[in-house]
A = this chain, B = another copy of it.
Amino acid sequence: MVDAGVRYLFEPGSVAVVGATNNQSKPGHTIVGNLLKYGFEGSVYPINRTGHSVLGREGYRSIAEIPNEVDLAVLLSAPFETVDLIEECARKKVKAVVICSGGFAEVDDEGRELERRIIDIARETGMRILGPNINGPINTSNNLLLSMAPLMEPKRGNLAFISQTGQFMVWVTEWLQTAFGLGVSKAIDLGNKCDVDEIEVLEYLEQDPATEVIAIHIEALKDGRRLMEAASRIGRRKPVIVLKTGRSQDGARAALSHSGSLAGRDEVTDAALRQAGVIRAQDFDEFLDFAKAFSRLSIPRGNRVGVVTSTGGGGIMALDACERCGLEVATFSAETIERMEGLYPGRERVSKLVDLGPAMGKRDINELYGSALDAMVSDDGIDGIVMMIIVVVTENPTNPDPDILMDLVRRGRKPIIACTTGRQDWVTEYSRTLEAKGVPTYPSPERAVRALAALRRYGSWLEETNGG
Protein backbone atom coordinates (compact mmCIF):
# COMPACT_ATOMS: atom_id res chain seq x y z
CA MET A 1 0.00 0.00 0.00
CA VAL A 2 1.29 3.40 -0.92
CA ASP A 3 0.96 5.90 1.89
CA ALA A 4 -1.54 8.66 1.04
CA GLY A 5 0.95 11.33 2.05
CA VAL A 6 3.54 10.02 -0.39
CA ARG A 7 0.94 10.05 -3.13
CA TYR A 8 0.27 13.75 -2.38
CA LEU A 9 3.93 14.49 -3.06
CA PHE A 10 3.23 13.67 -6.71
CA GLU A 11 -0.50 14.19 -7.06
CA PRO A 12 -1.54 17.15 -4.93
CA GLY A 13 -4.73 19.00 -5.77
CA SER A 14 -3.19 22.16 -4.31
CA VAL A 15 0.30 23.45 -3.59
CA ALA A 16 1.32 26.23 -1.20
CA VAL A 17 4.75 27.74 -1.91
CA VAL A 18 6.14 29.31 1.27
CA GLY A 19 8.65 31.95 0.23
CA ALA A 20 6.99 32.78 -3.11
CA THR A 21 8.18 36.11 -4.44
CA ASN A 22 8.18 38.32 -7.52
CA ASN A 23 11.96 38.66 -7.31
CA GLN A 24 12.98 36.73 -10.43
CA SER A 25 16.38 35.75 -9.11
CA LYS A 26 14.91 33.81 -6.16
CA PRO A 27 13.92 30.13 -6.14
CA GLY A 28 10.60 31.19 -4.59
CA HIS A 29 9.83 32.86 -7.89
CA THR A 30 11.12 30.09 -10.10
CA ILE A 31 9.05 27.36 -8.44
CA VAL A 32 5.80 29.26 -8.90
CA GLY A 33 6.91 30.09 -12.45
CA ASN A 34 7.52 26.46 -13.34
CA LEU A 35 4.11 25.44 -12.00
CA LEU A 36 2.22 28.15 -13.87
CA LYS A 37 4.24 28.13 -17.09
CA TYR A 38 3.62 24.47 -17.83
CA GLY A 39 0.06 24.36 -16.49
CA PHE A 40 0.08 22.43 -13.22
CA GLU A 41 -3.34 20.84 -12.90
CA GLY A 42 -4.14 22.10 -9.41
CA SER A 43 -4.27 25.22 -7.25
CA VAL A 44 -1.15 27.24 -6.46
CA TYR A 45 -1.00 29.42 -3.33
CA PRO A 46 1.94 31.82 -2.95
CA ILE A 47 2.84 32.56 0.67
CA ASN A 48 5.01 35.46 1.80
CA ARG A 49 5.27 37.98 4.66
CA THR A 50 3.08 40.63 3.03
CA GLY A 51 0.70 38.25 1.32
CA HIS A 52 1.26 39.85 -2.10
CA SER A 53 0.29 38.02 -5.25
CA VAL A 54 2.98 36.29 -7.29
CA LEU A 55 2.80 35.99 -11.07
CA GLY A 56 -0.84 36.99 -10.82
CA ARG A 57 -1.81 34.35 -8.26
CA GLU A 58 -3.39 35.63 -5.07
CA GLY A 59 -0.96 35.52 -2.17
CA TYR A 60 -1.35 34.77 1.54
CA ARG A 61 0.64 35.68 4.63
CA SER A 62 0.53 32.20 6.05
CA ILE A 63 -0.66 28.73 5.32
CA ALA A 64 -3.34 29.16 7.97
CA GLU A 65 -4.84 32.01 5.93
CA ILE A 66 -5.50 29.89 2.86
CA PRO A 67 -9.28 29.40 2.73
CA ASN A 68 -9.11 25.93 1.10
CA GLU A 69 -7.43 22.64 1.81
CA VAL A 70 -3.71 22.40 1.08
CA ASP A 71 -2.38 19.02 -0.03
CA LEU A 72 1.27 19.95 -0.42
CA ALA A 73 3.43 22.70 1.05
CA VAL A 74 6.82 23.67 -0.33
CA LEU A 75 9.21 25.33 2.11
CA LEU A 76 12.09 27.54 1.03
CA SER A 77 12.61 28.98 4.49
CA ALA A 78 15.80 29.27 6.51
CA PRO A 79 16.42 26.17 8.67
CA PHE A 80 15.62 27.93 11.97
CA GLU A 81 12.15 28.95 10.68
CA THR A 82 11.31 25.53 9.37
CA VAL A 83 10.11 23.85 12.54
CA ASP A 84 7.51 26.56 13.17
CA LEU A 85 6.32 26.31 9.59
CA ILE A 86 6.04 22.54 9.79
CA GLU A 87 3.91 22.94 12.91
CA GLU A 88 1.72 25.40 11.08
CA CYS A 89 1.36 22.93 8.19
CA ALA A 90 0.35 20.24 10.66
CA ARG A 91 -2.32 22.50 12.15
CA LYS A 92 -3.66 23.18 8.65
CA LYS A 93 -3.71 19.41 8.04
CA VAL A 94 -1.41 19.69 5.03
CA LYS A 95 -0.85 16.15 3.69
CA ALA A 96 2.79 16.43 2.68
CA VAL A 97 5.65 18.91 2.88
CA VAL A 98 8.64 19.40 0.58
CA ILE A 99 11.56 21.07 2.38
CA CYS A 100 13.85 22.49 -0.29
CA SER A 101 16.20 24.36 2.03
CA GLY A 102 19.55 22.94 2.98
CA GLY A 103 21.42 23.52 6.22
CA PHE A 104 20.26 20.49 8.21
CA ALA A 105 21.89 17.13 8.98
CA GLU A 106 24.32 17.57 6.07
CA VAL A 107 25.86 20.59 7.81
CA ASP A 108 26.18 20.32 11.59
CA ASP A 109 24.75 19.14 14.91
CA GLU A 110 22.31 22.00 15.07
CA GLY A 111 20.95 20.98 11.69
CA ARG A 112 20.65 17.38 12.83
CA GLU A 113 18.66 18.52 15.84
CA LEU A 114 16.29 20.55 13.63
CA GLU A 115 15.72 17.46 11.49
CA ARG A 116 14.91 15.40 14.58
CA ARG A 117 12.26 17.90 15.62
CA ILE A 118 10.74 17.88 12.14
CA ILE A 119 10.61 14.10 12.12
CA ASP A 120 8.87 14.12 15.50
CA ILE A 121 6.11 16.35 14.17
CA ALA A 122 5.73 14.14 11.10
CA ARG A 123 5.48 10.99 13.21
CA GLU A 124 2.91 12.56 15.55
CA THR A 125 0.66 13.94 12.86
CA GLY A 126 1.12 11.50 9.97
CA MET A 127 2.07 14.42 7.72
CA ARG A 128 4.82 13.26 5.33
CA ILE A 129 8.06 15.16 4.71
CA LEU A 130 10.31 15.03 1.64
CA GLY A 131 13.81 16.43 2.12
CA PRO A 132 15.26 18.62 3.45
CA ASN A 133 18.00 19.73 1.07
CA ILE A 134 16.20 18.97 -2.19
CA ASN A 135 14.95 20.48 -5.40
CA GLY A 136 11.41 19.07 -5.37
CA PRO A 137 9.50 16.41 -7.30
CA ILE A 138 8.47 16.48 -10.94
CA ASN A 139 5.39 14.71 -12.28
CA THR A 140 4.86 15.09 -16.01
CA SER A 141 1.36 13.58 -15.86
CA ASN A 142 -0.11 16.62 -14.05
CA ASN A 143 2.74 19.11 -14.70
CA LEU A 144 3.72 19.32 -11.07
CA LEU A 145 7.13 20.85 -11.67
CA LEU A 146 8.64 21.75 -8.33
CA SER A 147 12.07 22.97 -9.27
CA MET A 148 14.18 25.76 -7.86
CA ALA A 149 15.86 25.94 -11.26
CA PRO A 150 13.94 27.14 -14.32
CA LEU A 151 12.88 24.05 -16.25
CA MET A 152 12.50 23.50 -19.95
CA GLU A 153 9.18 22.21 -21.23
CA PRO A 154 9.07 18.70 -19.84
CA LYS A 155 8.75 15.63 -22.03
CA ARG A 156 6.63 12.71 -20.89
CA GLY A 157 8.17 9.26 -20.86
CA ASN A 158 7.91 5.88 -19.20
CA LEU A 159 11.04 6.36 -17.08
CA ALA A 160 10.95 7.43 -13.45
CA PHE A 161 14.15 8.92 -12.12
CA ILE A 162 15.01 9.03 -8.42
CA SER A 163 18.04 11.06 -7.48
CA GLN A 164 19.88 11.47 -4.24
CA THR A 165 20.28 15.20 -4.76
CA GLY A 166 18.68 18.16 -6.44
CA GLN A 167 21.23 19.69 -8.77
CA PHE A 168 21.91 16.23 -10.10
CA MET A 169 18.23 15.54 -10.61
CA VAL A 170 17.63 18.65 -12.67
CA TRP A 171 20.60 18.37 -14.94
CA VAL A 172 20.18 14.66 -15.48
CA THR A 173 16.49 15.10 -16.31
CA GLU A 174 17.33 17.79 -18.86
CA TRP A 175 20.35 15.90 -20.19
CA LEU A 176 18.17 12.78 -20.63
CA GLN A 177 15.61 14.84 -22.49
CA THR A 178 17.96 16.76 -24.77
CA ALA A 179 20.88 14.38 -25.33
CA PHE A 180 19.04 11.05 -24.99
CA GLY A 181 15.58 11.99 -26.24
CA LEU A 182 14.09 10.47 -23.09
CA GLY A 183 11.20 11.95 -21.18
CA VAL A 184 10.35 11.06 -17.59
CA SER A 185 7.14 10.04 -15.87
CA LYS A 186 8.38 11.28 -12.50
CA ALA A 187 11.65 12.72 -11.24
CA ILE A 188 12.40 13.16 -7.60
CA ASP A 189 15.38 13.92 -5.40
CA LEU A 190 15.53 12.56 -1.89
CA GLY A 191 18.07 14.81 -0.19
CA ASN A 192 18.49 14.07 3.50
CA LYS A 193 15.55 11.61 3.56
CA CYS A 194 14.50 12.64 7.07
CA ASP A 195 11.12 10.96 6.51
CA VAL A 196 10.17 9.73 3.01
CA ASP A 197 12.94 7.57 1.59
CA GLU A 198 13.71 5.75 -1.65
CA ILE A 199 11.71 2.71 -0.61
CA GLU A 200 8.43 4.55 -0.25
CA VAL A 201 9.08 6.37 -3.50
CA LEU A 202 9.80 3.04 -5.20
CA GLU A 203 6.53 1.66 -3.85
CA TYR A 204 4.68 4.65 -5.25
CA LEU A 205 6.35 4.18 -8.64
CA GLU A 206 5.59 0.46 -8.57
CA GLN A 207 1.88 1.21 -8.92
CA ASP A 208 2.24 4.37 -11.05
CA PRO A 209 0.73 3.53 -14.46
CA ALA A 210 2.93 6.14 -16.21
CA THR A 211 6.14 4.47 -14.98
CA GLU A 212 7.52 1.36 -16.71
CA VAL A 213 11.21 1.66 -15.86
CA ILE A 214 12.84 3.05 -12.71
CA ALA A 215 16.33 4.55 -12.57
CA ILE A 216 17.67 5.43 -9.15
CA HIS A 217 20.80 7.26 -8.06
CA ILE A 218 21.77 6.52 -4.45
CA GLU A 219 24.73 7.71 -2.43
CA ALA A 220 23.88 6.00 0.80
CA LEU A 221 21.41 3.30 1.79
CA LYS A 222 19.49 3.90 4.99
CA ASP A 223 18.11 0.40 5.15
CA GLY A 224 19.75 -1.88 2.61
CA ARG A 225 17.70 -4.95 3.47
CA ARG A 226 14.35 -3.22 3.03
CA LEU A 227 15.52 -1.64 -0.22
CA MET A 228 16.59 -5.01 -1.64
CA GLU A 229 13.27 -6.57 -0.68
CA ALA A 230 11.34 -3.77 -2.33
CA ALA A 231 13.57 -3.73 -5.42
CA SER A 232 13.33 -7.47 -5.81
CA ARG A 233 9.53 -7.39 -5.67
CA ILE A 234 9.20 -4.34 -7.96
CA GLY A 235 11.82 -5.75 -10.33
CA ARG A 236 9.49 -8.55 -11.37
CA ARG A 237 7.18 -5.99 -12.96
CA LYS A 238 9.42 -3.01 -13.72
CA PRO A 239 13.19 -3.00 -14.22
CA VAL A 240 15.08 -1.05 -11.55
CA ILE A 241 18.41 0.48 -12.65
CA VAL A 242 20.71 1.67 -9.88
CA LEU A 243 23.67 4.03 -9.88
CA LYS A 244 25.16 3.56 -6.42
CA THR A 245 27.95 6.06 -5.82
CA GLY A 246 30.11 6.77 -2.81
CA ARG A 247 31.84 3.48 -3.62
CA SER A 248 35.36 4.60 -2.86
CA GLN A 249 36.58 5.65 0.56
CA ASP A 250 36.81 9.29 -0.45
CA GLY A 251 33.49 9.13 -2.26
CA ALA A 252 31.76 7.60 0.76
CA ARG A 253 33.16 10.26 3.05
CA ALA A 254 31.99 13.00 0.71
CA ALA A 255 28.53 11.38 0.54
CA LEU A 256 28.34 11.62 4.32
CA SER A 257 28.84 15.38 4.28
CA HIS A 258 26.77 15.77 1.12
CA SER A 259 23.55 14.09 2.12
CA GLY A 260 24.17 13.29 5.75
CA SER A 261 24.17 9.52 5.43
CA LEU A 262 26.74 6.76 5.42
CA ALA A 263 27.59 4.51 2.48
CA GLY A 264 28.19 0.81 3.17
CA ARG A 265 30.86 -1.49 1.79
CA ASP A 266 30.59 -1.59 -1.95
CA GLU A 267 31.12 -5.32 -2.50
CA VAL A 268 28.29 -6.10 -0.10
CA THR A 269 26.03 -3.64 -1.86
CA ASP A 270 27.01 -5.06 -5.21
CA ALA A 271 26.16 -8.66 -4.31
CA ALA A 272 22.88 -7.63 -2.72
CA LEU A 273 21.85 -5.57 -5.75
CA ARG A 274 22.64 -8.43 -8.08
CA GLN A 275 20.60 -10.89 -6.06
CA ALA A 276 17.67 -8.50 -5.96
CA GLY A 277 17.64 -8.35 -9.77
CA VAL A 278 18.63 -4.71 -9.75
CA ILE A 279 20.50 -3.58 -12.85
CA ARG A 280 23.60 -1.86 -11.51
CA ALA A 281 25.19 0.78 -13.71
CA GLN A 282 28.94 0.98 -13.17
CA ASP A 283 29.08 4.67 -13.95
CA PHE A 284 27.04 7.66 -14.99
CA ASP A 285 27.29 6.81 -18.70
CA GLU A 286 25.94 3.32 -18.17
CA PHE A 287 23.16 4.72 -15.99
CA LEU A 288 21.81 6.82 -18.85
CA ASP A 289 22.59 4.23 -21.52
CA PHE A 290 20.71 1.55 -19.61
CA ALA A 291 17.79 3.88 -18.92
CA LYS A 292 17.47 4.44 -22.65
CA ALA A 293 17.65 0.75 -23.53
CA PHE A 294 15.18 -0.40 -20.88
CA SER A 295 12.68 2.32 -21.64
CA ARG A 296 12.61 1.43 -25.34
CA LEU A 297 13.37 -2.26 -25.79
CA SER A 298 11.91 -5.65 -24.97
CA ILE A 299 14.04 -8.11 -23.02
CA PRO A 300 16.03 -10.56 -25.19
CA ARG A 301 15.02 -14.18 -24.62
CA GLY A 302 18.62 -15.41 -24.68
CA ASN A 303 22.17 -14.08 -24.90
CA ARG A 304 22.92 -14.77 -28.59
CA VAL A 305 23.63 -11.58 -30.50
CA GLY A 306 23.79 -10.95 -34.23
CA VAL A 307 25.84 -7.99 -35.47
CA VAL A 308 25.20 -6.24 -38.78
CA THR A 309 27.43 -3.37 -39.86
CA SER A 310 28.65 -1.32 -42.79
CA THR A 311 31.98 -0.81 -41.04
CA GLY A 312 34.01 -3.94 -40.43
CA GLY A 313 36.16 -2.03 -37.96
CA GLY A 314 33.17 -1.07 -35.85
CA GLY A 315 31.64 -4.54 -36.18
CA ILE A 316 34.75 -6.15 -34.71
CA MET A 317 34.51 -3.79 -31.72
CA ALA A 318 30.94 -4.99 -31.21
CA LEU A 319 32.09 -8.64 -31.27
CA ASP A 320 34.85 -7.87 -28.76
CA ALA A 321 32.33 -6.11 -26.53
CA CYS A 322 29.93 -9.08 -26.66
CA GLU A 323 32.57 -11.36 -25.19
CA ARG A 324 33.51 -8.83 -22.53
CA CYS A 325 29.87 -8.41 -21.48
CA GLY A 326 29.01 -12.10 -21.34
CA LEU A 327 26.98 -12.17 -24.54
CA GLU A 328 27.47 -14.85 -27.15
CA VAL A 329 28.00 -13.92 -30.78
CA ALA A 330 25.29 -15.93 -32.53
CA THR A 331 26.13 -18.74 -34.91
CA PHE A 332 23.84 -18.16 -37.84
CA SER A 333 21.51 -20.86 -39.14
CA ALA A 334 22.31 -22.42 -42.53
CA GLU A 335 19.41 -20.50 -44.03
CA THR A 336 20.66 -17.18 -42.67
CA ILE A 337 24.15 -17.84 -44.02
CA GLU A 338 22.75 -18.67 -47.42
CA ARG A 339 20.66 -15.50 -47.49
CA MET A 340 23.63 -13.39 -46.39
CA GLU A 341 25.89 -14.87 -49.03
CA GLY A 342 23.44 -13.71 -51.66
CA LEU A 343 24.35 -10.19 -50.57
CA TYR A 344 28.09 -10.74 -50.95
CA PRO A 345 28.98 -12.24 -54.27
CA GLY A 346 32.63 -13.18 -54.13
CA ARG A 347 33.06 -13.14 -50.36
CA GLU A 348 34.44 -16.34 -48.93
CA ARG A 349 31.78 -16.88 -46.28
CA VAL A 350 29.75 -15.08 -43.72
CA SER A 351 31.04 -16.19 -40.38
CA LYS A 352 29.65 -14.34 -37.38
CA LEU A 353 29.71 -10.75 -38.54
CA VAL A 354 27.44 -9.41 -41.24
CA ASP A 355 29.70 -6.77 -42.79
CA LEU A 356 27.79 -4.99 -45.53
CA GLY A 357 30.76 -2.71 -46.20
CA PRO A 358 32.05 -4.37 -49.37
CA ALA A 359 28.55 -4.37 -50.90
CA MET A 360 27.84 -0.72 -50.00
CA GLY A 361 27.33 1.47 -53.03
CA LYS A 362 26.86 -1.60 -55.23
CA ARG A 363 23.41 -2.51 -53.91
CA ASP A 364 20.52 -0.49 -52.57
CA ILE A 365 21.10 0.31 -48.90
CA ASN A 366 17.60 -0.72 -47.86
CA GLU A 367 17.95 -4.00 -49.72
CA LEU A 368 21.23 -4.66 -47.90
CA TYR A 369 20.18 -3.76 -44.35
CA GLY A 370 16.64 -5.00 -44.99
CA SER A 371 17.72 -8.46 -46.20
CA ALA A 372 20.32 -8.85 -43.47
CA LEU A 373 17.91 -7.82 -40.72
CA ASP A 374 15.12 -9.91 -42.20
CA ALA A 375 17.32 -13.01 -42.09
CA MET A 376 18.49 -12.22 -38.55
CA VAL A 377 15.01 -11.49 -37.28
CA SER A 378 13.79 -14.84 -38.64
CA ASP A 379 16.76 -16.81 -37.26
CA ASP A 380 15.76 -18.52 -34.00
CA GLY A 381 19.42 -18.70 -33.01
CA ILE A 382 19.56 -14.91 -32.58
CA ASP A 383 18.05 -13.24 -29.52
CA GLY A 384 19.11 -9.64 -30.04
CA ILE A 385 20.61 -7.56 -32.83
CA VAL A 386 23.27 -4.86 -32.83
CA MET A 387 23.14 -2.71 -35.93
CA MET A 388 25.91 -0.28 -36.85
CA ILE A 389 25.09 2.53 -39.23
CA ILE A 390 27.44 5.17 -40.55
CA VAL A 391 25.16 8.08 -41.26
CA VAL A 392 25.90 9.76 -44.57
CA VAL A 393 24.04 12.38 -46.52
CA THR A 394 24.21 12.44 -50.30
CA GLU A 395 21.72 12.96 -53.08
CA ASN A 396 20.72 9.31 -53.08
CA PRO A 397 19.37 7.74 -49.92
CA THR A 398 22.35 6.05 -48.33
CA ASN A 399 20.98 5.45 -44.86
CA PRO A 400 18.57 2.62 -44.25
CA ASP A 401 14.97 3.85 -44.10
CA PRO A 402 13.80 3.74 -40.47
CA ASP A 403 10.30 2.65 -41.58
CA ILE A 404 11.67 -0.41 -43.32
CA LEU A 405 13.76 -1.24 -40.28
CA MET A 406 10.79 -0.81 -38.00
CA ASP A 407 8.58 -3.25 -39.85
CA LEU A 408 11.28 -5.83 -39.22
CA VAL A 409 11.64 -4.84 -35.60
CA ARG A 410 7.93 -5.23 -35.00
CA ARG A 411 7.76 -8.56 -36.74
CA GLY A 412 10.80 -9.98 -35.00
CA ARG A 413 9.88 -9.02 -31.45
CA LYS A 414 13.54 -9.19 -30.52
CA PRO A 415 15.46 -6.12 -29.39
CA ILE A 416 17.42 -4.19 -32.01
CA ILE A 417 19.91 -1.66 -30.73
CA ALA A 418 21.91 0.67 -32.96
CA CYS A 419 25.25 2.39 -33.03
CA THR A 420 25.06 5.47 -35.24
CA THR A 421 28.04 7.57 -36.11
CA GLY A 422 29.46 9.93 -38.74
CA ARG A 423 29.06 13.71 -38.77
CA GLN A 424 27.40 14.79 -35.56
CA ASP A 425 24.54 16.82 -37.05
CA TRP A 426 23.62 14.03 -39.48
CA VAL A 427 23.92 11.44 -36.74
CA THR A 428 21.71 13.43 -34.37
CA GLU A 429 19.00 13.86 -36.97
CA TYR A 430 19.02 10.27 -38.20
CA SER A 431 19.20 8.85 -34.67
CA ARG A 432 16.18 10.87 -33.65
CA THR A 433 14.16 9.28 -36.47
CA LEU A 434 15.38 5.84 -35.58
CA GLU A 435 14.59 6.30 -31.90
CA ALA A 436 11.13 7.60 -32.65
CA LYS A 437 10.60 4.21 -34.30
CA GLY A 438 11.74 2.36 -31.20
CA VAL A 439 15.42 1.65 -31.92
CA PRO A 440 17.68 3.22 -29.28
CA THR A 441 20.95 4.55 -30.67
CA TYR A 442 24.42 4.85 -29.13
CA PRO A 443 27.56 6.62 -30.30
CA SER A 444 29.82 3.57 -29.93
CA PRO A 445 29.43 -0.17 -30.55
CA GLU A 446 30.59 -0.95 -27.01
CA ARG A 447 27.96 1.23 -25.38
CA ALA A 448 25.24 -0.37 -27.51
CA VAL A 449 26.45 -3.87 -26.59
CA ARG A 450 26.75 -3.05 -22.88
CA ALA A 451 23.16 -1.84 -22.84
CA LEU A 452 21.96 -4.99 -24.60
CA ALA A 453 23.93 -7.10 -22.11
CA ALA A 454 22.22 -5.30 -19.22
CA LEU A 455 18.84 -6.13 -20.74
CA ARG A 456 19.87 -9.75 -20.96
CA ARG A 457 21.16 -9.90 -17.37
CA TYR A 458 17.79 -8.65 -16.24
CA GLY A 459 16.09 -11.24 -18.48
CA SER A 460 18.13 -14.04 -16.87
CA TRP A 461 17.23 -12.85 -13.39
CA LEU A 462 13.54 -12.70 -14.33
CA GLU A 463 13.68 -16.28 -15.66
CA GLU A 464 15.45 -17.58 -12.56
CA THR A 465 13.10 -15.71 -10.25
CA ASN A 466 9.95 -16.78 -12.02
CA GLY A 467 11.23 -20.31 -12.50
CA GLY A 468 12.18 -20.66 -8.81
Contacts and interface: CB of A to CB of B under 8 A. Distances in A.
Interface stretch (A1-9, A47-55, A243-251): A243-251
A164 B313 CA distance: 7
A323 interface: yes
Interface in A307-321: 310-317, 319-321
Interface residues of A, number: 82
What is the copy number of this chain in the assembly? Answer: 2
Given A167-B390, A320-B246, A351 B257 contact: yes
Contacts of A25: 361, 396
Residue with the highest number of chain B CB atoms closer than 10 Å, among A27, A108, A167 = A167
Interface in A284-318: 284-285, 310-317
A386 B164 CA distance: 21
Given A171-B422, A258-B355, A285 B447 contact: yes
A443 interface: yes
Contact of A352 (B165, B254, B352, B396): B254
Contact of A253 (B285, B322, B352): B352
A424 B392 CA distance: 23
B107 A346 contact: yes
A451 to B, nearest CB: 13
Nearest to A350: B257
Given A250-B352, A283-B321, A352-B253, A316 B258 contact: yes
Q: Which 6 A-B pairs have the closest CB atoms?
A: A168-B313, A248-B323, A178-B424, A258-B312, A251-B319, A283-B446
